[in-house]
Chains A and B, each alone.
Chain A
């Protein structure tokens, strides 16, 4: 490859464009010829073209880079060894943006203001969502024939039978862990059988619903956000609105009803699994199942079970609506659906634990 760059008088520069070479040659040509010319920006340049036609894109890029730079400074460019219409050919590739100014930076005060507005807007949109959700739920209960049963059954299966294995597995392991972690202390006091009470109370009143709710947030909450988020990104939500179908009623209600009905049932099975897991440790200490059952009967009351089911009902509504809201609020752009799914899971779990604490305090102060 020949590289020539003769700097003549009166800042006239003659350049021989590199004949077709491999990429390494082109790199050398670029740094030894093109970049110095771009830096010096001579007022007159004559560019010798190689014989082989057509020029490769890299060769054309070199010609265009020099030509645009020189001309933008009021200089002239001439092509040697070019066909007559070569000027026009260069023009095809030489259109450059009018102003290449970068976007103005956002100042600190403005930044704070913007994020305040954003927070207020988000709070407001959550309020709007909650109101329209309540309206839509009441409407759906009054007119059950308007519910989209296909979505309902899909979400119902996903939040119950599909989630059953993992929920049962995790709860039984947690029950098992609690039992053998507390066992040594109770043995110290000479009453290992009291572990049964601990497992019963913690599983039924607290952990059964809580673990189920967390799994629900991870599986159904994120799925709702991804489904509705994808529909938002592909304008399907807009299409629904344009068809005068309210997305909350059409998409959110069936999903919420599905989890609100199925998740409490799932949490009952999860609780039973937790109790069984804990009993494994008692069984190892030769405590009979009947004795364990008797202990549960004495330490728990029917309203404990009712409370657990009610809590799970609240949890599932929170997780479901956090997921759907995150989906409907999906922004534009790449990764937006992923961010919505993340937000759905995090918001779902935070809401569940907050609500758990709140309900626990209320039930306690009421003496339930």
Chain B
């Protein structure tokens, strides 16, 4: 692949991006990009700002400084049309699912299609059924969200995030709260959709098996330095990444002797 080709395959890029609430930065100087058709895993300790980054990418939280380009549109200072372009190219699954409680699971998945596409209802319904099948929720189609377990709600939210077939899908801790088998199946699903449709996935997770299974590349956020510590393939980072990342990926506890020294 030529260099120029490589450049054009970048679908989202953050450059010296600072994010946080009310002008107070949670993370600073984030620089990374997401390529078309790859799974980028974002990991880091609890409370380090992963959800904050998701919210920023989803245009729900304005960046403090720096630049964030999505599908060629700059988010900082974007007008209404720019924001619409960005929002239409991103599907988000929130950490808690954020399903609409008054609608059945099937209606939750159909809602975005209803608003943004001009398809007849039977088409939309069949499309939504296909998505629910893909996340193993075919039997829960007519249930209300509060009748589902936490893991099922997450899968329903993934289906909703995919409803408009966005080029970028953002998943906030999709496998948290799932049993290992379902979680592995979900990994396969993410990989499958990603590679078969050249869709990009940004996945927040700290589950090591999941990271090694799905990540084409990973971005490691560090709460102590408040920025990106490493970007790369998980296998390479495990072999030759910064010490903190290797510790994370090999699941080594902090060494009390070393800390004292």
B23–chain A nearest beta-carbon distance, Å: 29
**Would you give the shortest CB distance from A231 to chain B, in whole angstroms?**
16
Our pick among A30, A94, A333 for the contact of B120 (Cβ within 8 Å) is A30
Whether B196 and A54, one on each chain, are in contact in the complex, defined by CB atoms closer than 8 angstroms, is: yes
B57 within 8 A of A: no
Contact of A93 among B101, B119, B133 (CB under 8 A): B133
Q: Does B138 touch A at the CB level, under 8 Å?
A: yes
Min CB gap B203→A, angstroms: 19
Contacts of A98 in B (CB 8 A): 139
| Contact A56 to B165, CB < 8 A, known contacts A24-B118, A95-B136, A333-B101 | yes
Interface residue total, chain B, C-beta cutoff 8 A: 29
Could you tell me the distance between the alpha carbons of A344 and B94 in the complex, rounded to whole angstroms?
Answer: 33
Contact of A92 among B120, B133, B146 (CB under 8 A): B133
Cβ distance A105 to chain B, nearest Cβ, rounded Å: 16
- The secondary structure that dominates the B interface is helix
A57 touches B130 (CB 8 A): yes
**Which residues of chain B are near A294, meaning CB under 8 Å?**
none
Whole-angstrom distance from the CB of B185 to the nearest CB of chain A? 11
Instruction: Please provide the chain B residues from 113 to 144 with a CB less than 8 Å away from any CB of chain A in the complex.
Output: 117-120, 122-123, 126-127, 129-131, 133-134, 136, 138-139, 141, 144
Does B87 reach chain A (CB closer than 8 Å)?
no
From 58 to 96 in chain A, residues with beta carbon under 8 angstroms from any chain B beta carbon are 58, 60-62, 64-65, 89, 92-96
By size class, the interface of chain A is 20 to 34
Contact with A along B195-224 (1 / 0, CB 8 A): 011100000000000000000000000000
Given contacts A96-B138, A97-B138, A333-B144, contact A61 B120 (CB under 8 A): no
Minimum CB–CB distance from A330 to chain B (whole Å) comes to 12
Q: Is the CB of B102 within 8 A of A335?
A: yes
Residue of B117, B118, B139 near A97 (CB, 8 A) is: B139
Report Cα–Cα, A26/B100, bound state, in Å.
28
Q: Is the CB of B136 within 8 A of A57?
A: no
Using Cβ atoms and an 8 Å threshold, which residues of chain A touch B102? 334-335
Q: Which of A31, A35, A57, A65 contacts B165 (CB 8 A)?
A: A57
- Residues on B with C-beta less than 8 A from A31 are 120
Q: Are B126 and A61 in contact (CB under 8 A)?
A: yes
| Additional pairs, 12, CB under 8 Å, beyond known A35-B122, A54-B197, A333-B101 | A24-B118, A27-B119, A27-B120, A54-B196, A60-B130, A92-B192, A93-B134, A95-B138, A96-B129, A96-B138, A334-B102, A334-B144
